[in-house]
Chain A
Amino acid sequence: MNDIVTLENSILAEIDTAKDEAALESVRVTSLGKKGSISEKMKTLGGMTPEERQKTGPALNGLKATVTEAIATRKDVLKREAISARLEHETIDVTLPVRQSPSEAGRIHPISQVVDEITAIFADMGFSIAEGPDIETDYYNFVALNFPDGHPAREMHDTFFLESDENGERKLLRTHTSPVQIRTMEAQEPPIRIVIPGKTYRCDSDATHSPMFHQMEGLVVDKTSNVANLKWVLEEFCKSFFEVDQVKMRFRPSFFPFTEPSLEVDIQCDRSGNEVRFGEGNDWMEILGCGMVHPNVLRSGGFDPDEYQGFAWGIGIDRIAMLKYGMPDLRAFFDADVRWMKHYGFRPLDMPTLFGGLSS
């Protein structure tokens, strides 16, 4: 029996010292293989007495099981060591950067974002979005809006004219989005509720005036809408747009040829710091002009001013964008400086909605 113990010790020692799977395989062959040491011992069982066989048989079977298990265990260890070694070899520097995805890099211009914000708010109040051409006729830009020829109010609009055509007609670049009021009234029956965001032009250029800028016009025509409704719409708009719980607005009588009565609107704010805060403070800032649609404008649109009535307003999109998001200089809006666009622009997936909040 001693030789079995000796054999076991020597095989287990070989297993333990096997350096790789090949060495382990040769231990298996030399022990458990057809001519292996254990197999040779097994062959001797046939020549033994029953008593001897009864003692030696189980011992040999035990040896075989022990060795088999030891090989399997060792094999697993060797495999793990080999994988570990390989993985260690494969280590890389995970602090190396990855490329920014395109949707993170791209930007939406603040004007587009603000137009989407405006759209979200007015859609909720039952308004549609109307549009019209940038190159307009004198009729749509002035005459139909109750600016008679030679009227001093025309001079306040520094108008860009195009070269006269062969008939002597001189087109112009619209000085406000109001021509779309007329175009809409010509095409649509009341009730009308539209907002008109768009480009407008005046020959004027400094830090707060740009020869091209953006306006948002609003128009409501029906049989009941009045100044009280106008106040409500504008207060709701300003509250939603500036994302504050309360705004205090001041409506001052004013003059525009296409509205009567006409009002200018100031919004209360705090300008003491670097940014403008709405809903607090002691300053008044002029923010828009509005009024009841002038009877002559309703007539231009084909409506009887004793039957139909309504209100309109105009607000500078660039200006409210600057107020909300803090861009200091209007001219930078149109310079396409990538540093400006990356800083003030919006991510393409930041879609303004009322349910998710206009801005994040």
Chain B
Amino acid sequence: MKFTLSWLKDHLETDATLDEIVETLTLIGLEVESIDDKAEFAPFTIAKVLTAEKHPDADKLRVLSVDAGDGKPVQVVCGAPNAKAGLIGAFASPGTYVPGIDLKLSVGNIRGVESHGMMCSERELKMSDEHDGIIELPKDTPIGGSFAAYAGLDDPVFEIGITPNRPDALGVAGIARDLEAAGMGKVKKLSIAEPKSGFPCPVDVKLDFDAEQENLCPAFGLQYVKGVKNGPSPKWMQQRLLAIGLRPISALVDITNYVTYDLGRPLHVFDADKVKGDLVVRRGKDGEKFLALDGKEYTLGPQICVIADDNGVESLAGVMGGELSGCSDDTVNVLVESALWHPLNIARTGRDLGINTDARYRFERGVDPSFTKSGLDHGTNLVIELCGGEASASVIAGEIPKPDLIIEFPISEVQRLTGIEVPSEECIKILQRLGFGVSGTGDVLNVAVSSWRPDVFGKPDLVEEIMRIYGVNKIEPQPLSSHGAVGAKILTTGQVRNRAAKRSLAARGMLEAITWSFIPENHAKLFGGGLQATKLANPISVEMSDMRPSLLPGLISAAGRNSDRGYNDVALFEVSGIYLGDKPEDQKRIAGGIRRGSAKLSGSGRDWQTPAPEVGVFDAKADALSVLEACGMDTSKVQIMAGGPDWYHPGRCGRIQLGPKNVLATFGELHPLTLEALDVSGPICGFEVVLDAIPEPRKKATKTKTPLELSDLQAVRRDFAFVVDQSVDAATLTRAAAGAEKVLISNVSIFDLFEGASIGEDKKSIAIEVTLQPKEKTLTDEDIAAVSNKIVDNVMKSTGGVLRG
């Protein structure tokens, strides 16, 4: 919402400075977004041309002697054809910035003659496009004064942001009302006389709605004015419209725009001679066409309200008038319309047709119903004032709703909600100045809501009115009551895991990424997604069409982008949501990560001590296990199973699970076809841990750890090598070894893996070191031999392998 200071002062008598008004507007909720104080026009003065001689070396130039009021004439070279002795105009001295040509003047030398300034054209002062000559003021204009003040160029322009609840502030008069309430002056009451009418309105209007849709147009006012003469609107009106960024068109059109901004009351003016028969306000018909003032044709439907005559639709209710019945310079008879529309219907019409107008903006927020008739009178008066003519009687179809909301308002609500005590007289005064009707004097007031405040429904709304006018600044911060001396744990298990997973992966040298929750459909499908339930109906682009079923495609694509920039060895992770459906429980908390190229735990790229090996399935497995450990899982208790989802390499991926129904994580090298589809080259390994699947830790009575049992007896280590089929899992073998003697065996680890022709195709040799930890007595050779035999038997039984000779 834009307006100028002089415009505001039409409605508000005030001594306040510009700064005070600006600050107050912001503090009462009418946020000043910008203020153009027009200071750039200040240096221009009114000056008189004393003499004008022909330039000695140029036919079209004149050398002027200009008096800017200080009695010290200066020499100015000027090319304007109308430059002559005696002319009074706008002068800019050297050093002045001239906005219309974006130039800072300096002392010039034009064909050998010095020029100390410039006489300006209207274009040079951004007043119009006029540049055929310099500005000529009346002969009696006093010289030496400010040209900007004389021409009204110094009128500061406000731009304020109006929140959707304040349609009353979408007119300058409403803003003046708020300023008065805030002590910034006194509102100049608007007095609108009913226009003198000498004949009945020749055009009738009918509201044609079903009973349940009558609220689409509660009232419609119309007045005929005959014998008008259209033309440019007066200078002052044009200047104000220009200042707020509107293009003056003609008096009849400018009047409607001016009243929209001045009083927040949109009006429409039809060329009455182009209207055929009476007007009908009705719903549009399916497929009905309408040519609007913007020159575009719109196809209408029954959800849209229109104003029609015998020719068809003449206007889109509350949104935009029609091209065919619009006013032109030849218009002699007009119909002035002031109507009321249903805000939601106007909003929907504007949205459906993609039309934004000042009228729509106001109607969808709520136009003061009580001002419908006065608005019509005011519009008609302005038409007669600016264009002449004679008014008919007015017609009002429908019924103008009367405000009937009265709020029972305990004054104590102000303190309850804001913490400040505002004296009740002050509360009453504020409400009254804002136009609320207040009755009662005790603790509970009856407050009648004014017709221009559709946003005020209940007690908190009134508290807000009192608070914003009384001053939010006056509320002193008060501490919240303390809940206790020492803060308790506030994070849920899930939140704790979230943080632990992030910190542990970063501590493994990975970089935390946050990638989009929406990914391209083909990526989603590659990772088991792309369901109808997780598809966006209005994606911002096809690259962001589906909610992700996995963190991996986003991370792999990110690795690809980094690779394109020359960073091939990257380790990325993300801890965030995936979406397996559209229900809350379908959103899973995942820790996922990838490593590309040589980005291993020990570091990436080449190093003088070690070569740069490629990442593989075991890097991803280690990452996944470390997340589980960080989240409190004892990973010695989990099952590692071969195989996983089909975006992984089928022979190089696995699952970490607690039984087949509870898969905690998957890991592996990415399938070459997956990478090809994502257009990223490998090698890439990745993992995903489902943090929600990790069981809640069991609640324990105390935090005491289990006792530490240390044996003084020396541990014994024995090595074994077994030749087994390739298909035998190493985990099966170590589990068999460990299970051979549960008391003595404290650890089994694999220290060598050998595959080669010497032990036969399809065979491998796995060498293990078994640690025996005696607890009661030192082991004898016989004890050790007995355990060794058990180990060998157990492994051979479980794996079908043999002890390697």
Contacts and interface: CB of A to CB of B under 8 A. Distances in A.
A345 B348 CA distance: 45
B75 interface: no
A288 B512 CA distance: 27
A131 B495 contact: yes
A357 interface: no
Contacts, number: 272
B482 interface: yes
A47 interface: no
Contacts of A253: 27-29, 464, 467-468, 472
Contacts of B540: 160, 203, 205, 211
B225 interface: no
B419 A229 contact: yes
Given A106-B507, A112-B502, 5 more contacts: A103-B507, A107-B512, A163-B535, A226-B419, A292-B418
A132 B499 CA distance: 17
Closest 8 CB pairs of A and B: A228-B419, A253-B29, A102-B509, A261-B464, A255-B163, A336-B558, A348-B506, A106-B506
Contacts of B109: none
Contacts of A152: 164, 343, 347, 364-365
Nearest to B539: A160
A337 B562 contact: yes
A108 interface: yes
B525 interface: no
B420 A228 contact: yes
Interface of A: 96-97, 99-103, 105-109, 111-112, 116, 119, 123-129, 131-135, 149-153, 155-156, 160-165, 170-171, 173, 193, 199, 201, 203, 205, 211-212, 220, 224-229, 231-233, 235, 250-255, 260-264, 292, 294-295, 309, 333-339, 341-342, 345, 347-349, 351
B507 A254 contact: no
B491 interface: yes
A155 B347 contact: yes
B515 A336 contact: yes
A162 B534 CA distance: 7
Interface in B518-570: 518, 532-540, 544, 547, 554-555, 558, 561-562, 565, 567, 570
B538 A228 contact: no
A100 B419 contact: no
B756 interface: no
Contacts of A333: 514
A124 B547 CA distance: 36
B487 A336 contact: no
A296 B459 CA distance: 12
Nearest to B504: A348
Contact of A211 (B164, B351, B506, B544): B544
Nearest to A169: B582
Main secondary structure of the interface of A (DSSP, over half): mixed
A264 B468 CA distance: 12
Contacts of B539: 160
A106 B510 contact: yes
Contact of A164 (B499, B537, B538, B561): B537
Most buried by A among B463, B492, B507, B572: B507
Most buried by A among B165, B494, B570: B165
A161 B536 contact: yes
Contacts of A263: 472
A203 B562 CA distance: 26
Contacts of A262: 163, 464
A150 B347 contact: yes
B416 interface: yes
Contact of A295 (B458, B547, B587): B458
B567 A229 contact: no
Given A109-B512, A135-B547, A261-B418, A251 B472 contact: yes
Nearest to A199: B517
A162 B535 contact: yes
A288 B679 CA distance: 41
Nearest to B608: A96
B43 interface: no
A135 B475 contact: no
A170 B544 CA distance: 18
Contacts of A96: 608
Given A227-B418, A295-B460, A338-B567, A156 B472 contact: no
A327 B576 CA distance: 22
B460 A123 contact: no
A256 B542 CA distance: 32
Given A152-B365, A165-B582, A255-B166, A232 B490 contact: no
Contacts of B602: 99, 102
Given A126-B480, A126-B484, A132 B584 contact: yes
A160 B538 contact: yes
Given A106-B508, A171-B582, A235-B477, A99 B467 contact: no
Contacts of B468: 253, 261
A261 B460 contact: yes
